[in-house]
A and B are shown apart, each in its own frame.
Chain A
């Protein structure tokens, strides 16, 4: 079974801090994704990566950056956290372009105070 592991289930940070959310997958998937989930808005794509060191902006990239130095790891970075970034963050991975389903981590509930 595919395992997508997010480093924290719950995280509390302060406004202005630099925040790192880590995601690791164990199935050699090429594509990895970061979403945020907010009530009434569903899942919105922040960034995705289709290969090491490759990334593309999703629908809401403002205030975020990403890093993919190794195939199995995809990091989401909040350069200067703000209260409107309080949300549930979900990481996903999938093998390649095609019809396979994305596999999701358990999510990180991030609170910015």
Chain B
């Protein structure tokens, strides 16, 4: 089955805390891609990152980092020193041109 699971429905943290959003995927494909999107209160989905299934190198971009582990089928996303502007719904997705999305994690960062 093709499936993306985001078990955390909602997370609340206080500003400057680190927070990790979990994503577990199931796929039949041998080559696939993993994505994270952010949906702020305004509603548009903003692309954050894409990883290839054959590249398990972790990535850091500013306060964001991603940990891809094929052995556990996980693609977790960490925000370091969270800010109020990080408050949004975050979606993990898997696929090639056609995606399966997780149900999203709502992150609330409190001042």
By a CB distance below 8 angstroms, the chain A residues around B97 are: 31, 94, 96-98, 100, 102
| CB-based nearest B residue for A50 | B97
| CB-based nearest A residue for B4 | A42
Known: A98-B96, A99-B33. A88 touches B43 (CB 8 A): yes
By a CB distance below 8 angstroms, the chain A residues around B9 are: 40
By a CB distance below 8 angstroms, the chain B residues around A104 are: 37, 44-45
Count contacts on A: residues with CB < 8 A to the other chain.
Answer: 28
Query: Per DSSP, are chain B's interface residues mostly helix, strand or loop, or mixed?
Result: loop
Known: A43-B91, A105-B44. A48 touches B98 (CB 8 A): yes
A-contact 0/1 string along B3-37, CB 8 Å cutoff: 00010010000000000000000000000010101
Q: How far is the CA of A48 from the CA of B98 in the complex (A)?
A: 9
> Is the CB–CB distance between B43 and A42 below 8 Å?
no
Known: A31-B97, A98-B96, A99-B33. A42 touches B91 (CB 8 A): yes
Q: Is A41 an interface residue (CB 8 A)?
A: yes
Q: How far is the CA of A107 from the CA of B45 in the complex (A)?
A: 9
B108 → chain A, closest Cβ, in Å?
15
> Is the CB–CB distance between B43 and A107 below 8 Å?
yes
Q: How far is the CA of A44 from the CA of B93 in the complex (A)?
A: 11
By a CB distance below 8 angstroms, the chain A residues around B52 are: 99
B32 → chain A, closest Cβ, in Å?
9
Q: Is A45 an interface residue (CB 8 A)?
A: yes
Q: Is A103 an interface residue (CB 8 A)?
A: yes
Q: How far is the CA of A105 from the CA of B42 in the complex (A)?
A: 11
Q: How far is the CA of A104 from the CA of B98 in the complex (A)?
A: 13
B36 → chain A, closest Cβ, in Å?
10
Residues of A within 8 A of B (CB): 9, 31, 33, 35, 40-45, 48, 88, 90, 92, 94, 96-107, 109
Residues of B within 8 A of A (CB): 6, 9, 33, 35, 37, 42-45, 47, 50, 52, 91, 96-99, 101-104
Known contacts A42-B102, A104-B37, then 10 further A-B pairs from the complex at CB < 8 Å, ordered by chain A residue = A9-B43, A40-B103, A41-B103, A43-B91, A44-B101, A99-B50, A99-B52, A102-B99, A105-B44, A109-B43
